[in-house]
Amino acid sequence: MTPVLGLALVLVVGLLSRNPAPPPADRVVLLPGPEGKVGKVEVSTREAAITLDDAYRAAHISRSGKIAAHLESEASVRERYGAALEARPPRPVSFLLYFESGRDELAPESLPTVADIKAELAKRPVPEITVVGHTDRVGSVEANDRLALKRAEAMRSLLTARGIEALAIEVAGRGEREPLVPTADEVPEARNRRVEIVIR
Amino acid sequence: MRIHWIAPVFAALATWGGAQAAGEAGTIKTAKGSVTIERAGQKLSAAVGTAVQSADRVLTGANSSVGITLRDHTLLSAGPNSTLELNKYSFDATSHGGELDATVKRGSLSVISGKLAAASPRSVSFHTPTATLGVRGTEFVIEVADREMLP
């Protein structure tokens, strides 16, 4: 009796000590954005694939490529990834500026925005600015791309003359690609004829 | 002596030109402890304001971290003992077309996707030693265990 039991015990202990699952090699956790919105990440290995599409959903991936789904929490994520999360750069922000109608001057209502831009720049140690010109849909796409870039360049000059400084100030023209107010083609819309100052 | 006046000329060109310096992907915005960039066989000490280029490898030491803003507003940040390889990066500020392909070799990386993923989700992918990630307008973290320390 006793020797058989002894043997059985040893076997079980032997099995137990070989069984604990090794920790996952890699993990991916989907996080909610500032307004709680959640995007999507598709994780695939040679063995398996999973789509993460709700907040704190995690993929734990073994060295052999097997994937197990888990649900983390705000607390567990902060504990495990706090250092990476604290190192996140500040999110970029945008301001809109308008020209006075037909002139290379700032519209009067845009003057206070220049002060807001300076305040935002002061908060960032190495801010970079992209001055992005936008147009309405009057004219061809190509002509509007050129016009948008010209407007961005003109606005950059106006801003640097007013003391706006940054690590870098680039220009870009987005033409009619991003209307604030969607319209049919060839319809004038002053609200779309704007310059966006993006600070990153 | 020529070198002294060429540098400010290039700096001026960088601010006046519409096109970015070739290969420049982004800028370090936060840094703590030891942050290094390996580029073309050289090791560079990196700090806030250092430019990051396509094909760079970024490494953080113990108790260290780094945050990088890419030109399309993808925000990357790595925790301690991490290695991030920026395999490919391109971004056209007019069309928002381009490509981001990066590998986390070890450590932790937080990602907030930017205009590239918003314009074309297929244009952004991340890798770990085992997995590939496709990204659709989103925030997430990646953790990669140190292969030498795995059981």
Nearest to A87 among B67, B73, B131 (CB): B67
Q: Residue A126 in contact with residue B48, Cβ under 8 Å?
A: yes
CA A9 remoteness from chain centre: 56
Contact A92 B79 (CB under 8 A): no
How high is the mean pLDDT of chain B? 88
How wide is the angle at C-alpha A129 spanned by C-alphas B51 and B111, nearest 5°? 55
Q: Which of B34, B71, B29 is nearest to B50 (CA)?
A: B29
Could you report the per-residue pLDDT of A147-157, keeping only the tens digit for each?
999 999 999 99
On whether any CB of chain B is under 8 Å from the CB of A56, the answer is no
Tell me which of A19, A37, A43 to substitute to probe the interface with B (most B C-beta atoms closer than 10 Å): A43
Chain B residue closest to A22 (CA)?
A: B151
Half-sphere exposure in the Cβ direction for A81 (13 Å, CA): 28
How high is the mean pLDDT of chain A? 91
Find chain A residues with C-beta within 8 A of B30's C-beta: 87-89
For chain B, which residues score pLDDT lower than 50? 1-19
pLDDT at A18: 56
- Shortest distance, CA A8 to any CA of chain B (angstroms): 27
3-state secondary structure of B128: coil
Q: Residue B32 in contact with residue B53, Cβ under 8 Å?
A: no
Q: Residue A155 in contact with residue A129, Cβ under 8 Å?
A: no
- Which two structure tokens, joined as six digits, stand for B83? 């290695």
On whether any CB of chain B is under 8 Å from the CB of A44, the answer is yes
Could you report the per-residue pLDDT of A54-87, keeping only the tens digit for each?
999 999 999 999 999 999 999 999 999 999 999 9
pLDDT at A72: 97
Nearest to B65 among A28, A29, A84 (CB): A84
Complex ipTM value: 0.87
- Give just the sign of the alpha carbon dihedral A112, A117, A120, A121: negative
Could you report the per-residue pLDDT of B27-53, keeping only the tens digit for each?
999 999 999 999 999 999 999 999 999
Could you report the per-residue pLDDT of A93-144, keeping only the tens digit for each?
999 999 988 888 999 999 999 999 999 999 999 999 999 999 999 999 999 9
Dist CA A66 CA A197 (whole Å): 46
pLDDT at B60: 98
On whether any CB of chain B is under 8 Å from the CB of A133, the answer is no
Q: If residue A122 lies in a helix (H) or strand (E), which one and from where to where?
A: helix A111-123
pLDDT at B137: 81
Q: Which of A32, A88, A66, A169 is nearest to B65 (CA)?
A: A88
- Shortest distance, CA A95 to any CA of chain B (angstroms): 15
Q: Residue B33 in contact with residue B64, Cβ under 8 Å?
A: yes
Could you report the per-residue pLDDT of A8-64, keeping only the tens digit for each?
343 444 345 555 777 888 999 999 999 999 999 999 999 999 999 999 999 999 999
